[in-house]
Amino acid sequence: MRTPTDFESYTVSLIVVAGEGEGEETPMDRPRWRLGTRPDGDAWQGVIEFSAGRFTVSDLEGGSGIRVNGVHVERAELRHGDRIDLGDRVLQILIARRDAVPLFAPSRREGRVQREASSEPSAPDHGS
């Protein structure tokens, strides 16, 4: 399956799961987002960017200020559900493709496969 390369093909949001603003969800409406500020308020801690069909987070402090799923990173690719720890807050990224098919919707082909695999004989198909 091909990964879309344009930002508009995705719905993306960040949820604060711990720290100030816990429970707040913010939709990402552009392909570049700055994250947090250092305690002195002087600079941004990191940035989330979308490019070539991938979401990445980069630590603007040189690897000391951001963890993804518990691991210190300078740069990391993000996937749906990843947690980004900024020290004073933890964010979770939600990524969904706009054209994604729900997993619970069976296709017609799956229905045929299940019938063919059944041990019970079926009525002949006369082109219906």
Domain ranges for the chain: 7-117
What is the CATH class of 7-117? mainly beta
CA distance 9 to 29: 12
Taking only the tens place, the pLDDT of each residue in 49-94 is 998 888 999 988 765 678 999 998 889 999 999 999 988 889 999 9
Query: How would residue 1 be classed by pLDDT, with cut points 50, 70 and 90?
Result: very low
Taking only the tens place, the pLDDT of each residue in 6-53 is 878 888 899 999 988 999 999 988 889 888 765 566 667 889 999 888
| Contact status, residue 70 vs residue 76, Cβ threshold 8 Å | no
Q: Which has the higher per-residue pLDDT, 97 or 93?
A: 93
